[in-house]
Amino acid sequence: MIDYDFQAHAAGAKVLGFYALRPQAKLPMKQTQGAACFDVHACCDDQITLKPGERALIPTGLIFDIPENYSVRVHTRSSWAAVKGIGMSVTEGIIDHDYVEEVFVPMVNNTDKLFHIRSGERIAQIELVKTIPTINTWIDDRPTKRGNRDGGFGSTDNMKGSE
């Protein structure tokens, strides 16, 4: 875990605030200088046990104060998914800047064994993402082919040079 980088803040970094709902809540932190995401922790009074195939919302004990024009993306920790068989029950969680309630992480036990989550354990990763102002509109003409792509879902597997 690294210390808060006050120089980065002075250089124009965005501030992502956290309000602790319970005293055992932990501030999300990067584990290395090069980490892209901050680890978020479970915050519960008792351990949470997930049965095989079971899903549950795991409390973080935090309310996020997300800057305007940003959102927070929540990702599965790769070590939990690859080694332990535990992941998020959604591909990616998105927390909008106007959501100001406790953040929960939707987890699923993909194994055939009971899995225990204890308060203070790192359960997911979060990243602050800029929201790009977008206008959706109807267009009159169908978009034309771009590049050498033919099809979707696995279509690039058969392209020359994709081996």
pLDDT at res. 1: 46
Cα angle for residues 34, 39, 45 (degrees, 5° grid): 160
The alpha carbon of 159 is separated from its chain's Cα centroid by a whole number of angstroms, namely 32
Q: Set out the domains of the chain in order of their start, with CATH numbers.
A: 18-132 (2.70.40.10)
> Nearest-CA neighbor of 57 among 71, 74, 39?
74
Which residues, including other chains, have CB under 8 Å from residue 56's CB and lie 6 or more apart? 48, 50, 106, 107
d(CA 117, CA 8): 33
Cα angle for residues 121, 123, 126 (degrees, 5° grid): 125
pLDDT tens-place values along the chain, 163 residues long: 445 555 555 567 899 999 999 999 999 999 998 899 999 999 999 999 999 999 999 999 999 999 999 999 999 998 888 888 888 888 899 999 999 999 999 999 999 999 999 999 999 999 999 999 999 999 999 998 888 767 676 656 665 655 5
**Sole residue written with tokens 């940003």:** 70
Cα angle for residues 37, 85, 155 (degrees, 5° grid): 75
